[in-house]
Amino acid sequence: MFSIERLRALAAVAEHGSIAKAAQARSVTPSGMSQQLAKLEREAGRPLLEPDGRTVRLTLAGRVLVDHAEQVLDRLARARRDLDDLGEEVMGPLRIGGVGSAVRSLLVGALSRMLAEHPRVEPRVRDGEVVDLLPRLMRGDLDLVLVESWASRPIPLPAGVSAVDLVDEEVYVAFPEGHGPAGRDRVGLAELADAVWASCPPGTGPCEGLIQAARAAGFEPRISFSLTELPTQMALVEAGLAVALVPEMGRSPGPERVRFVPVRPSLRRTIRAAWRTAAEAPPVTACVDALRAAAAG
């Protein structure tokens, strides 16, 4: 492994054209500079400098190494500037995970708002279900997650996680246009004991929320379609093959021939932003603030 200080010495010789001038620029003695260069040659395993009259010039190996050295030193200088800026500017990578409807309805607008104010934040986003997102958060693979918690199946957060509620919204039953309850003000889940349901895969918040709400209404739901994507569930509803529970955020955009009827008694879903308390970096705080503003809007 090459010493950074010795790479600096080689770069200085390349810039100033002689060991003496490079030593003066780096505030070291010429003999000290020569010793650094000799050690660097041993690390490289080949000559880096050769005599050129009363001075020296880079060999081919020296030119190759100094090119890499300049890139390394430039990256180190940028790293130093970025670290110095941390106290003044919100910046750096921000890994976000979220349930699809919250990503679409909340996060997109929040990121636009945040990046307008903090352009050096580098967001990376993935969608998923709470059952996958929370373990990733706890492992440190994600910095911030948008999770859902259904009133019929609340999601407990692990110790060491901070959270803020962003949206509390109503949940609807999606029916194909022309279906009996599609024109009603509300529908009781007990009326749908014989219905075929489309929902997210088993273990996810929406699926467990449906199962617990149905059991509270006195029946076990017949979930024939387990699909991650809400638009695919809506295609089945539109075709008259199933009904589905859909939160407010999931209604738009929706198929033209699907109608949404609120549940009786009311069923609700909460969207939360969650992060590890010990890892609350400035980009996380900035994104949470932007999410709150997006939710309020």
Answer yes or no: do 15 and 149 share one domain: no
Answer yes or no: do 39 and 144 share one domain: no
What average pLDDT does the segment 100-112 reach? 94
Task: Note the pLDDT of residue 69.
Answer: 85
Distance CA 245, CA 200 (A): 10
* Closest of 51, 1, 26 to residue 10, by C-alpha: 26
Indicate if the pLDDT at residue 79 is higher than 80: no
Task: Note the pLDDT of residue 86.
Answer: 61
Report pLDDT digits (tens) over 156-182: 888 889 999 999 999 999 999 888 776
| CATH for 131 | 3.40.190.290
Q: What are 168's strand-pairing partners?
A: 270
Question: What's the length of the chain?
Answer: 297
In this prediction, residue 9 has a pLDDT band, given cuts at 50, 70 and 90, of: confident
Answer yes or no: do 136 and 48 share one domain: no
Residue finishing a domain among 85, 120, 150: 85
Answer yes or no: do 282 and 240 share one domain: yes
- Of the listed ranges 10-14, 26-30, 173-177, the least confidently predicted one is 26-30
Higher pLDDT, residue 77 or 119: 119
- Counting the structural domains of the chain, the total is 2
Report pLDDT digits (tens) over 221-266: 999 999 988 889 999 999 999 999 999 988 877 788 999 999 998 9
In this prediction, residue 93 has a pLDDT band, given cuts at 50, 70 and 90, of: very high
Rg of the chain's alpha carbons, rounded to an integer?
A: 30
Indicate if the pLDDT at residue 122 is higher than 90: yes
Residue finishing a domain among 28, 56, 85: 85
**Which of 77-86, 174-183, 194-203 has the highest average model confidence (pLDDT)?**
194-203
The pair of three-digit structure tokens given for residue 188, joined into one six-digit string: 């009781």
The pair of three-digit structure tokens given for residue 120, joined into one six-digit string: 């050096």
Answer yes or no: do 52 and 141 share one domain: no
Answer yes or no: do 116 and 60 share one domain: no
Answer yes or no: do 80 and 224 share one domain: no
In this prediction, residue 81 has a pLDDT band, given cuts at 50, 70 and 90, of: low
* Closest of 297, 268, 285 to residue 86, by C-alpha: 285
Range of the domain at 277: 92-297
In this prediction, residue 23 has a pLDDT band, given cuts at 50, 70 and 90, of: confident
Distance CA 97, CA 120 (A): 19
pTM for the full predicted model: 0.68
Decide the pairing of beta strands 121-127 and 92-98. Answer: parallel
Answer yes or no: do 220 and 290 share one domain: yes
pLDDT exceeding 90 applies to what percent of the chain?
53
- Of the listed ranges 52-56, 112-116, 213-217, the least confidently predicted one is 52-56
Higher pLDDT, residue 279 or 26: 279
Cβ proximity of 37 and 61 under 8 Å = no
